[in-house]
A and B are shown apart, each in its own frame.
Chain A
Amino acid sequence: MTTPMPLRIFEHQLVAYRRLWRGTVVVSFAQPVLFLLAFGVGIGALIDEDVAASRRIGDVPYLAFVAPGLLASACMVTATVESTWPVMSAIKWSRQYHGMLASPLTSTDLVHGQVLWIAFRSMITAVAVGLVLIFPDDTRSVGLFGSVLAGVLTGLAFGVPITAWTASVDRENLFFGLQRFVVTPMYLFAGAMFPISQLPRPFRAIAYVTPLYHGVELSRGFALGTIDSAAFVHVAVLSAFVVVGYLWARRTYPRRLSP
């Protein structure tokens, strides 16, 4: 019984990661934690003093409100990073993919391997943030498991389509555009930091179609225990992004990597 091809790729990346993990874990862990401290605790202290504000976020401390949002956002960032630079590198600079394709591996295997990897890295980020959330009373709950799953799904909803896109473009400068016009606006406006009810109506509609909004809602619902049937919608939307992204990758990978 031989190891399935995608797992072999995953194994390879895991081994490579062993040398790098210390650096990225620090960032994947440190960034969300620091953000939580600054926004959850720092700004949170300012917000919790205001009764009207508290009501708007569901009568929970701001830390409890923003933390699950940041969990999903952190997964988005991790997935984006993992699906842009390393993929371009494997195609163009280190040309790792070409080396792999000289073996029995096919480009489909490469796609599957990358999907596994994104899920894994998103999980690490989600677990890291989740662990931090165990400490404050307001966020300690069994629902954190659900939040972690929501984080992984969010990561995939970003990572898989972006991987497909990376394989179809040639210039890395576009990554900065992705950061500036997709990732950052979502981070700011998709409901992680403040409820989207505060957005003007037309922009609220835009927020509804972003994967991050659904990831945030799902993650927050689990963490605060306010999960309801809307969860099915959130899961469906996120999954749609994953599936579409996967099919897209199945087309762009072979096209880019054909000899």
Chain B
Amino acid sequence: MNVALVSRIVPVQLRESRRAHHMVERSMVVYRRGWVMIVSGFFEPLFYLLSIRVGAGKLVGDLDVGGQMVDYATFVAPALLAASAMNGAVIDSTFNVFHKLRYAKTYDAVLATPMTPGDIALGEIAWALIRGVIYATTFAVVIVVMGLADSPWIVAAVPIAVLIGFAFAGVGMAVTTYMRGWADFEFVFLATMPMFLFSGSFFPLSRYPHALRVIVQLTPLYHGVELERAAASGRFGAGSFVDAAYLLALGAVGLVVAARRIERLLRP
């Protein structure tokens, strides 16, 4: 009976996907040689946070957030973590996937084996998430070392980053399967850039006119930012469940669409 239930919920593209971990294995072999790039990822959050503390932080001073005075760097740091989780997932699921799909034809060979399109979609997303975990952990460590975390709940920042990554990797991969050429990537950029800048990351949402505030609250990164801020300050609320559910749903939908599209693209 349980099997029947799973069969109805899990879409057919993912039903036989028991081999997704081989895609992860493959990525690990590739990156074993590129470990320098992964390790150097540590510098990015360091640079950004330092520049905030030394630069804009000194100019902006403290902000009133929900009744508490927070210095600017503490305000921005969790948002930057969320944004970097988004960017990492997007790059992995669009850029890299598109290259493999269209030019390297890497997936063609994979599909001639017992691997299925569902395996590929799941495996690539899983790898994006693993990289996200490594990166988010590094970022969280930098935040703690720079004294920008107010609560031990900061450890939740890593699973939250995974959730953000899952949402964007799912959507990213789905979108990538519709792209026709490198030029289409501009649209990806046009989506992530405004989100990065305007999801309440650099200045509080309370400064927006009401209409804009509503629009921002409909976008995914906003929810990621809210969750990360909650983790850094230790103040979760009912809204946190909504944030988490939103991201989970987005990722799931993206995953299914991606698997279906890959099937159609590679098995005409």
Contact = CB atoms under 8 A, between A and B. Distances in A.
A198 B37 CA distance: 30
A222 interface: no
21 contacts: A20-B183, A22-B183, A23-B185, A23-B186, A24-B186, A34-B197, A37-B197, A38-B203, A42-B197, A42-B198, A46-B60, A46-B63, A46-B203, A53-B58, A56-B59, A62-B59, A173-B34, A188-B51, A189-B54, A194-B56, A194-B58
A48 to B, nearest CB: 10
Contacts of B183: 20, 22-23
Contacts of B194: 34
Interface in B41-90: 41, 43-44, 47-48, 50-51, 54-56, 58-61, 63
Interface of B: 34, 37, 40-41, 43-44, 47-48, 50-51, 54-56, 58-61, 63, 183-186, 189-190, 193-194, 197-198, 202-203, 207
Interface in A62-116: 62
Given A34-B193, A177-B40, A199-B54, A50 B203 contact: no
B59 A39 contact: no
A50 B47 contact: no
Interface of A: 20, 22-24, 26-27, 30-31, 34-35, 37-39, 42-43, 45-47, 50, 53, 56-57, 62, 173, 176-177, 180-181, 184-185, 188-189, 193-194, 198-200
Contact of B55 (A23, A24, A188): A188
B186 A27 contact: yes
A56 B59 CA distance: 8
Nearest to A184: B47
Contacts of B51: 188-189, 193-194
Contacts of A173: 34, 37
Given A57-B59, A180-B40, 11 more contacts: A23-B183, A31-B193, A34-B197, A38-B197, A42-B197, A42-B198, A43-B202, A53-B58, A53-B59, A189-B54, A194-B55
Contacts of B48: 188
Contact of B190 (A26, A45, A57, A200): A26
Contacts of B193: 30-31, 34
Nearest to B60: A46
Contacts of B202: 38-39, 42-43
Given A188-B51, A198-B54, A42 B59 contact: no
Nearest to B55: A194
A180 B42 CA distance: 10
Contacts of A42: 197-198, 202-203, 207
A53 B60 contact: yes
Contacts of A62: 59
Nearest to A37: B197
Given A34-B197, A176-B37, A177-B37, A198 B60 contact: no
A193 B55 contact: yes
A111 B198 CA distance: 40
A62 B59 CA distance: 10
B12 to A, nearest CB: 36
